[in-house]
C-alpha cells in the first residue's frame, strides 16, 4: 500500500520494490520469523542490485528524493576546500583526500578544482562508495567535468587503506545512512526492535537485545544520568566505535570531518522524542514509515554527535571542534566565496539563494552539524567561531 500523500511510483519501480520486498521476506522467514531492524535497513538500502543506494534510480537533487548540500552548487565544497587546504598543504603534495559515500559525485567535482585553486591538490582523491551503481555514475561525471590532470588522481577504493596515510577524511550525510539499531524499553529491559511479517506486510516486533546493544543503551543512560521510560523507542549505532576505528585506523596524521543532521546526546534522547528520529525520503516527501516502498525510498536516522566524539576518542583522535553547518561555513569563507562568484545579477542571486539554503536555521544551517576529529594536526582555526564542543 502506498500512503495517499506519496506520489505513485511507475509500474517498473513498483515491481522492483516488490522483488526487494520478497527478498527481505525470504530472509525473515529463513531467520525464524524476524530480523533486526538494522538488517532490514541494510537490505532496503544496500541489497546488491535492489537496495535504494545499489539500484539505478535518481536519488539526489530536484528530480530525486532529497537534496544534499553539495547538490545545491559549489559553495559548500568551496568552504570545505578552504578548511582542508591548510591540512593538505602540510603534507607538501603527498597528502590524500578520502571521501566516504560520494553520492552523485557533485562534491568531488567541486572540491577538487577548489583545492587546486588553493595549491592544495591531494596526491590521491579516494572515494569509498559501497554502491556499484553510484561508483559508475561518479566516474562518468568526474571524467566529464574534471581536467585530465585532476581526474587521474581520483581512485575508487574497494576497501579501506591498509597502509598509513596522511590527509583528510570527509563524509557528508553518510553517518545518517548507516544501518541503525532501534531499541525499545520494556519493563526496565532493553529490547531490540526487529522486523517480522504480519501476513505479507512488514511489522515491528521486539526481542531481548543482545549484550552489545544492551551495553550501548545502558551507556547512553549512564551518560544522560537517567533511565529511559518504559516504551521509549530510539536508535543508536553500537558498532560506531568499531566502524570509526576501521575507517580512521590508518590515518596517521590529518583531519576527519563529518557533516550530518543530528544533535548532542542530551538533545537526541529528549524524553519527548519518544519514537526516535527515523525518517524516510521519497520524492521530496518526508515521513517515518520505513516499510513503505522498500528500495525506492531513503531511510535515515539522526546522528548522536556525542557518540561520534566518543568513538573518535576510542580511535585515538582528538576533537577538533563541533559546530552548526552555518557557523562552520561562515568560519571557512562562505561570505568571500559568495562575493567571488560571477558578478552578473543572475549568478549573484543564485549564489545568495544557495548560501541561504546552506546557513538559514530554517533550512540546513542549524539542523546540520560539523564535527572535526584530528590526529597530529592543529585544526582549531577551522572551528574558531561558533564551536559548541561544550554541548556534547
Ligand X SMILES: C[S@@+](CC[C@H](N)C(=O)[O-])C[C@H]1O[C@@H](n2cnc3c(N)ncnc32)[C@H](O)[C@@H]1O
What part of residues 260-289 is at the interface with ligand X (CB under 6 A)? none
What's the min distance (Å) between Cβ of 4 and ligand X? 26
Among 86, 130, 249, 386, binds ligand X (CB under 6 A): 130
Cβ closest to ligand X, residue 266 vs residue 285: 285
Q: Where are the alpha helices (DSSP H) in the chain?
A: 11-30, 37-46, 75-90, 106-117, 132-145, 148-151, 211-224, 240-248, 265-268, 305-314, 325-331, 334-339, 345-359
What's the min distance (Å) between Cβ of 206 and ligand X? 26
Cβ closest to ligand X, residue 131 vs residue 181: 131
Site string for ligand X, 7-46 (x = CB under 6 A): ----------------------------------------
What's the min distance (Å) between Cβ of 49 and ligand X? 14
Cβ closest to ligand X, residue 100 vs residue 359: 100
Looking only at the bridges linking them, the beta strands covering 368-375 and 303-304 are: unpaired
Q: Identify whether the C-beta of residue 57 lies closer than 8 Å to the C-beta of residue 63.
A: no
Among 128, 154, 185, 329, binds ligand X (CB under 6 A): 128
Cβ closest to ligand X, residue 84 vs residue 233: 84
What part of residues 131-190 is at the interface with ligand X (CB under 6 A)? 131, 134, 172-174, 177-178
Residue with C-alpha cell 530510539?
Answer: 234
CA distance 213 to 14: 34
What's the min distance (Å) between Cβ of 126 and ligand X? 11
Q: Identify whether the C-beta of residue 269 lies closer than 8 Å to the C-beta of residue 234.
A: yes
Report if residue 68 touches ligand X, rule: CB under 6 A: yes
- The residues facing 124 across adjacent strands are 96
Cβ closest to ligand X, residue 196 vs residue 373: 373
CA distance 242 to 93: 30
Q: Identify whether the C-beta of residue 235 lies closer than 8 Å to the C-beta of residue 278.
A: yes
Cβ closest to ligand X, residue 178 vs residue 320: 178
Site string for ligand X, 309-348 (x = CB under 6 A): ----------------------------------------
How many CA atoms does the CB half-sphere of 57 hold within 13 Å? Answer: 24
| Strand order, beta sheet including 298-300 | 285-287, 279-282, 298-300
Cβ closest to ligand X, residue 40 vs residue 53: 53
CA distance 49 to 6: 24
Q: Identify whether the C-beta of residue 53 lies closer than 8 Å to the C-beta of residue 333.
A: no
What's the min distance (Å) between Cβ of 199 and ligand X? 31
What's the min distance (Å) between Cβ of 135 and ligand X? 9
CA distance 45 to 53: 5
CA distance 94 to 122: 7
Instruction: Please identify the residue of the shown chain whose CB is closest to the bound ligand X.
Output: 101
Of 364, 244, 231, the C-alpha closest to 311 is: 244
What's the min distance (Å) between Cβ of 119 and ligand X? 25
Of 20, 7, 6, the C-alpha closest to 52 is: 20
What part of residues 69-108 is at the interface with ligand X (CB under 6 A)? 70-71, 100-103, 107
Cβ closest to ligand X, residue 131 vs residue 234: 131
Cβ closest to ligand X, residue 172 vs residue 180: 172
- The residues facing 202 across adjacent strands are 197
For ligand X (CB under 6 A), the number of binding residues is 20
Report if residue 49 touches ligand X, rule: CB under 6 A: no
Q: Select from 63-71, 84-92, 160-168, 347-355 the region that touches ligand X (CB under 6 A).
A: 63-71
The site for ligand X (CB under 6 A) is made up of 53, 60, 68, 70-71, 100-103, 107, 128-131, 134, 172-174, 177-178
Amino acid at each position: 500500500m502506498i500512503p495517499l500523500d506519496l506520489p505513485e511510483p511507475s509500474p517498473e519501480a513498483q515491481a522492483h520494490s516488490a522483488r526487494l520486498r520478497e527478498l527481505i521476506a525470504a530472509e525473515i522467514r529463513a531467520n525464524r520469523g524476524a530480523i533486526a531492524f538494522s538488517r532490514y535497513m541494510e537490505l532496503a538500502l544496500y541489497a546488491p542490485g535492489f537496495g535504494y543506494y545499489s539500484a539505478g534510480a535518481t536519488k539526489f537533487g530536484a528530480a530525486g528524493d532529497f537534496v544534499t548540500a553539495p547538490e545545491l552548487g559549489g559553495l559548500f565544497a568551496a568552504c570545505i576546500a578552504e578548511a582542508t587546504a591548510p591540512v593538505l598543504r602540510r603534507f607538501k603534495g603527498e597528502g590524500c583526500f578520502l571521501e566516504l559515500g560520494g553520492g552523485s559525485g557533485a562534491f568531488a567535482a567541486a572540491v577538487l578544482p577548489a583545492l587546486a585553486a588553493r595549491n592544495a591538490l591531494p596526491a590521491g582523491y579516494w572515494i569509498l562508495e559501497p554502491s556499484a551503481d553510484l561508483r559508475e555514475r561518479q566516474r562518468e561525471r568526474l571524467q566529464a567535468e574534471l581536467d585530465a590532470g585532476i581526474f587521474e588522481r581520483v581512485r575508487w577504493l574497494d576497501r579501506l587503506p591498509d597502509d598509513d596515510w596522511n590527509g583528510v577524511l570527509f563524509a557528508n550525510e553518510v553517518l545518517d545512512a548507516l544501518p541503525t539499531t532501534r531499541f525499545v524499553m520494556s519493563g526496565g529491559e532493553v529490547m531490540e526492535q526487529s522486523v517480522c511479517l504480519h501476513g505479507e506486510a512488514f511489522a515491528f516486533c521486539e526481542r531481548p537485545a543482545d549484550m552489545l546493544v544492551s551495553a550501548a543503551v545502558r551507556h547512553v543512560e549512564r551518560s544522560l544520568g537517567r533511565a529511559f521510560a518504559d516504551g521509549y523507542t530510539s536508535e543508536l549505532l553500537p558498532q560506531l566505535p568499531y566502524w570509526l576505528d576501521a575507517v580512521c585506523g590508518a590515518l596517521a596524521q590529518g583531519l576527519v570531518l563529518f557533516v550530518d543532521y543530528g544533535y548532542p546526546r542530551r538533545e537526541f534522547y529528549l524524553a519527548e522524542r519518544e519514537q526516535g528520529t527515523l525518517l524516510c525520503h521519497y520524492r521530496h516527501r518526508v515521513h517515518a514509515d520505513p516499510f513503505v516502498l522498500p528500495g525506492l525510498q531513503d531511510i535515515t536516522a539522526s546522528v548522536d554527535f556525542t557518540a561520534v566524539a566518543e568513538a573518535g576518542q576510542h580511535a585515538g583522535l582528538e576533537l577538533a571542534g563541533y559546530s552548526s553547518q552555518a557557523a562552520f561555513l561562515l568560519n571557512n569563507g562562505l561570505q568571500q566565496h559568495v562575493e567571488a562568484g560571477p558578478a552578473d545579477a543572475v549568478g549573484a542571486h543564485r549564489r545568495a539563494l544557495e548560501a541561504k539554503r546552506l546557513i538559514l536555521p530554517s533550512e540546513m544551517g542549524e539542523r546540520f552539524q560539523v564535527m572535526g576529529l584530528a590526529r597530529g594536526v592543529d585544526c582549531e582555526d577551522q572551528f574558531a567561531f561558533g564551536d559548541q564542543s561544550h554541548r556534547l
